[in-house]
Chains A and B, each alone.
Chain A
Amino acid sequence: MLASVLAATLHGLDGRPVRIEADVAPGLPGFTIVGLADAALREARERVRGALRNSGFVHPARRITVNLAPADVPKAGSALDLGIAIAILVGSEQVTPRGSWALLGELGLGGEVRPVPGIMPMVAALARRGAARVVVPAGSLAEARLVPGIEIVGVASLAEAADTLRGRRVGGHRPGLRSEMVPAELPVAAPDDPAGDHPDLADVRGLFEARRALEIALAGAHGLVLIGPPGSGKTMLASTIPGVLPPLDDEEAREATIIASVVGSEPVRGLVRRRPFRAPHHTASYAALVGGGPRLAPGEATRAHLGTLFLDELPEFDRSSLEALRQPLEEGRVCVARVGRAVIFPARFQLVAAMNPCPCGWDEDPSGRCACPSGVPERYRGRISGPLRDRIDLWVGVPRIAPRELLGSADSETSEVVRARVGACRARQVGARAMLNGRLRGRALRAAAALDARAEKRAIALADSVGMTARATERLVRVARTIADLADADRVAVEHLEEAARYRPPTEGRTAVARGVA
C-alpha cells in the first residue's frame, strides 16, 4: 500500500519541506530510495532496516520504493530517517496514524531517534507549509519550540514515534515531552552575560591607540586590522570584542539562532543572544571560509554573521579566500554558486584581523631585532591586495609594551563602559541615517559627513599627502564620521579627519612613503 508522510531537508540555511512516499508492494524483496538523495541519505536504508527490526517491527520482505518529493530538490543528511521508517510502517500497515504528521530525526540501529542539525529552520519550513504537528528528536525539543505556530512532540525512539502517531502516547511512558501549541511569542533563554568567558577590556593594559581604534571599529561596524609584533596583545584585544558589542536584538537573535541550529554540533537550547566570535586558522580553505563544498555548507563568514570574524596572521591566509571576503564585506552576504543551484548565506560580520609587521614580526621594534632583509617587510604588508585593503577601514599599530612602560599607568576602562559608548553611538547612527557608518558609500557618505569647506579641503590635503585612491579617501571620511558620532558631532570636523588619518594602512602612511624604494 502507498503511504505518505511529511519531512524536511536543508537548503543552505533554509528548510525545504519534503514529502516521503513509500510504496510497499508485492514482488522481489528490495529497498530503493529515489529523489536526489545524497550519500548519507542512501545509507538511510541500512539504518531504517536495523531500527525497524530492533524496535519490534518487521522489515517487510516485499518491494519497497521510497520516493522523496519534489524530485528535483537535492536532499541531504539523515533528518529524513525517521520519516522514511514511519512511511514504511504505514505502508506495510504496521502503524495506522491518526491525522497527518511531519517527522524529523536520525535513526540509530537500535531505534533511537537522534538530534540533527537545522531543526529550527526545518520546523519553520513545515510550519509555513501548514503542517499542524511535527515529531522531532527529544534532544531537539527546546530548539524546535523556538518556532511558533506548530505542535511539537519530542520522541526518543522509533517506537515512541509510532505510538505518538497511533495517538497512544498521551500520558504514556515519557510524560512531559508533549508540547502544546507554542505561543507566537518567542521563548527567550536567559540573556547570556554579554561578557561571558571573554576577557574584559580592563585586563588589557596600555594600547590606547589600538583600544581607541577598536572602539571606533565596533561603534561604526568598520573593519579593523591590528598590526604589531608577537606578544603585543593583538589576539587578547580582539578576544574582548564579544563583550564590547551590544547583545543581539530579537530579530538578530533569530538569525543567529538559525545559523547556530544549522552549523552547530549540538541542538540549540534557546535563542542565541551572544554574538558569535569565529577565529578560523589561516590554513582554512576557501570553502571553509566563505562556504561551499559538496553540500553548499555555510562557511566561517556565515558562522560569524552578526558577530566577529577574527583573522589572525592575515597575510598568511590564502589569497583567493581573502579576496572572496570582499563580497560579504560589501554586501553582508555570500553567494555560493554551483552549476544549477546557488545559495545565499547571510554574512554580516565585524572583521578584525591581526598581522605581524613583517615575516619575523619585529620590523621597527626599538630593539632593532628585525632580521628581515630590506624590502621584505614592505612586500609582506603588500600581500593584502589593494581592493581588500580599501574595504577595511581601520589599521592600527599595536606596539609591544615593556612592563616598565605600564608602571603608574591609569587603570584601563572596562568592557562595560566601552560597550555603553558603542551602543549609544550605534543608536545615534541608526537614528540619523538608518544604518551604521561602515556601510556608508558615495553620496550617502558625503551627505552624512556634511563637510564644510575647510574640512573638505583638509580631507583632500590629507589624502593627497600620501597619494590615496578615491576609495581610500572615502575610507578616511567614513572613519571620521564615526569619530564625530562618538563625539556627538553632527558634522565631520578637521580634527576628526586628522584622527581618522592615523588609521591608514601601513602601505599608505608617511612612513610607507618614506621607506619605499632605495
Chain B
Amino acid sequence: MLGIGRGGPLGVAMVSPVGGGDGLADMRTGAPEPSAGHGQPVRPPSTRLSEREAWIVLAAIEGIGPVTFGALVRAFGSGRRVLAAADGPGGPARLAAAVAAEGLTMDPGLATRIGPAGAAGGALLARLAELGVEPLTAEDPGYPRRLREIDLTPPVLFVTGDPAVLDAPRVVAVVGTRRPTDEGRRTAARIGGVLAAVGATVVSGLAVGIDGSAHAGALLANGITVAVLGSGHAHLYPSAHETLAMEIVRTGGAVIAELPPDARPRPAGFPRRNRIIAGLADATVVVEAGERSGALITAGWAMEQGRAVFAVPGPLDRAQSVGCNRLLRENAGEARLVAGTDELVEDLGYATPLEVRRRRRTRGEASQPDAGAIVARLGSAEEAVVRHLLGGPATADALVGGTSLAGATILAVLTRLEEEGLVAGAFGRYRLAGALQGVRAIGGSRRPAGGHP
C-alpha cells in the first residue's frame, strides 16, 4: 500500500487548471504550441496540464512504475508539482532528492527525462486522442475497483473499448502457456465460452496459445472479453493478434495497457502485465502451463491478492501440464482444481444467472461476433481454406486434397490468411487463429449471390 491517491489530484492537491478552460479538451483539439491562439504569455507547459493530465504524463514516462510514481506524488503533493519541480535547471536533482527522502533511489537518466516529458505532455495527450486511447487514472471514478485493491496499482491505465467492462460484477482471468497442445486450446476456448455465457468478463493477455483461445472462446459465446497488453497500443503484440484485438473492442470488450501507446514490447513488460490480469479478476484460471510459464506468475499474483486460483490438471508427463499440476500440489487448499466447466462455474459462485442480456441487446446487431462475418469479407479461395480448417489443423496436403484449389494457390492463400492473423502455421501444419480460433462451424456463406462490390 503505497498511498497512491491519498494526496491525489482530486483530494488535497486540487489546483484549478490554468487558463480557466478544460485543459484536456484543449489538448484533445490538438494545440501543441503553448502560445497558439491564446495570446497569453508562454508559461512552462506543465502548468497548462490539469492534475489528471499530469498523472497521465507522469505515468507514461518510461521507467516510472507505480512505486516511483507514488514516491514522487507523495513527495511533491501532486503530479503537477512533480512536473513543475522537474522543469528547469536543478530539476533532476530536486526529484532525486525527494525520491531519496522516500527511501528510494532514482535512476539519474530517468530524473532528466521527467522535465522534457512534462513539456511534451500536450503531444502525448494529442497522440492518445489520435489513437482513440482513453487514459483512466486511479482517481477516476471509472477506474476498476478490484485493481485499486492490489499492491502496485497502476496509476494510469490506457484503454481502448469500453472501460466499464473492467468493473463488471463478474470478471475471470483465463491464462496459460503460449505453446499449448491442441487439447489445451480447446479447453481454453471452452472455458472462455462458458464464463462468457454466465456473464463474466473474460480477461487474458492476448498472447498466442491459451490466451488467444480464451479470448476467442468468449467472443464466440457472444461474451465480453478484455485483453491486457504488455506493450503499448501502437505496438500491439503479437501482431498476429491484431484482428483479434479489433474484434475484442468491436464486440464491446476492451484492450488495456499500463504502458503508453508507443511503448514497444519488451520482455520485462509481460510479468508486470500479469499482475494487472490477476488484479482485474475475481479469479484466475490456468489452463495449461509449463514448468516456468508466465501464467504461473499470474496465478502467484492472484493468490498474493487473496483472489481465487483455479488450474486445469493434466497428464503427469506432459510438459504443458507440469505447471498446473505443481500449482495444485504446492497450493493445496488455495488453488482449486477445474473438474469440469459446470463445476468451475459452481466453484466461482456464478451458478445463479446474472442479468447480462440487457446490456448486449442495447449494443445491437453489430456486436454479435460472428465467424461468418469474418469469412464473408474474405475471397472465395480463402473461405474454402478456412472452411477446411474448421475440421482441425491440416497440412498443405490435406488442403490440396480437401479443396478444389491448385497447390500454389493454397500456399498463397495461407500467406494472406496468416497476414490477417486468421491462420497460424508452424512447420507445415496450419490451424485457425485469432478471431477464428476455436470456431467449429460457420453457417452457410453470407456472401450475396452476386458478390460484394
Contact = CB atoms under 8 A, between A and B. Distances in A.
Pair from one complex: yes
Contact of B265 (A363, A364, A396, A517): A517
Contact of A498 (B207, B269, B416): B416
B427 A366 contact: no
B426 A511 contact: yes
B320 interface: yes
A366 B412 contact: no
Nearest to B238: A514
Contact of A499 (B267, B269, B290, B408): B408
Interface in A202-227: 206-210, 212, 227
Interface in B381-432: 393, 395-398, 400-401, 407-409, 411-416, 418-419, 421, 424-429
Contact of A364 (B205, B398, B426): B426
B419 A515 contact: no
A227 B397 contact: no
A501 B412 CA distance: 8
A513 B178 CA distance: 12
Contacts of B415: 462, 498-499, 501-502
Contacts of A363: 179, 426-427
B266 interface: yes
A499 B396 CA distance: 12
Interface residues of A, number: 49
Contacts of B180: 368
B319 interface: yes
A495 interface: yes
Given A227-B427, A517-B267, A374 B178 contact: yes
B230 interface: yes
B419 to A, nearest CB: 6
A396 B183 CA distance: 26
A444 interface: no
B240 A514 contact: yes
A506 B427 contact: yes
Contact of B181 (A208, A367, A514, A517): A367
B427 A483 contact: no
B47 to A, nearest CB: 39
A320 interface: no
A399 B429 CA distance: 6
B409 A514 contact: no
Interface stretch (B2-10, B115-123, B291-299, B325-333): B291-299
Interface in B417-453: 418-419, 421, 424-429
B290 A374 contact: yes
Given A397-B429, A409-B397, A499-B415, A518 B178 contact: yes
A465 interface: yes
A209 B230 contact: no
A516 interface: yes
Interface string A491-518: 0000110110110001001110111111
A371 interface: yes
A351 interface: no
Contacts of B429: 364, 366, 397, 399
A228 B181 CA distance: 17
A405 interface: yes
A208 B396 contact: yes
A495 B412 contact: yes
Given A374-B179, A397-B429, A518-B207, A495 B409 contact: yes
Contacts of A208: 395-397, 400, 407
Contacts of B419: 462, 465, 510
B363 interface: no
A510 B266 CA distance: 18
B252 interface: no
A34 interface: no
B428 A405 contact: no
Contacts of B350: none
A201 B85 CA distance: 75
Nearest to A511: B426
A355 to B, nearest CB: 10
Contact of B182 (A366, A401, A483, A496): A366
A409 B269 CA distance: 47
B427 A516 contact: no
A258 interface: no
A510 B424 contact: yes
B208 interface: yes
Interface in A170-208: 206-208
Contacts of A405: 395, 397-398
B181 A511 contact: no
A312 B436 CA distance: 37
A401 B429 CA distance: 10
Given A409-B397, A514-B241, A398 B428 contact: yes
A370 interface: yes
Contacts of B291: 373
A65 to B, nearest CB: 67
A98 B130 CA distance: 99
A511 B414 CA distance: 13
B318 interface: yes
Contacts of B409: 495
B239 interface: yes
B184 interface: yes
A483 B237 CA distance: 32
A409 B409 CA distance: 19
B83 to A, nearest CB: 32
A518 B320 CA distance: 16
Given A208-B395, A366-B393, A516 B428 contact: no
Interface string A227-249: 11100000000000000000000
A515 B400 contact: no
Contacts of B179: 363-364, 368, 370, 374, 515
Contacts of B319: 368-371
A410 interface: yes
B238 A498 contact: no
Contacts of B76: none
Interface in B89-124: none
A467 to B, nearest CB: 9
Given A373-B290, A374-B178, A516-B238, A495 B408 contact: yes
B222 to A, nearest CB: 26
Contact of A401 (B239, B397, B412, B421): B397
Contacts of B426: 357, 363-364, 397, 506, 511
Nearest to A207: B397
Contacts of B427: 227-229, 357, 363-364, 397-399, 506
User: Nearest 4 A-B pairs (CB), nearest first?
Assistant: A368-B181, A397-B427, A397-B428, A518-B270
Given A409-B401, A515-B179, A518-B270, 15 more contacts: A208-B396, A208-B397, A209-B396, A228-B428, A366-B181, A368-B318, A373-B291, A374-B177, A397-B428, A399-B395, A499-B415, A514-B240, A516-B237, A517-B265, A518-B178
Interface of B: 177-184, 205, 207-208, 230, 237-241, 265-267, 269-270, 273, 290-294, 318-320, 393, 395-398, 400-401, 407-409, 411-416, 418-419, 421, 424-429
Interface of A: 206-210, 212, 227-229, 357, 363-364, 366-371, 373-374, 396-399, 401, 405, 408-410, 462, 465, 483, 487, 495-496, 498-499, 501-502, 506, 509-511, 513-518
12 contacts: A206-B397, A208-B407, A209-B395, A364-B426, A368-B182, A410-B401, A498-B412, A506-B426, A510-B418, A511-B424, A513-B239, A518-B269
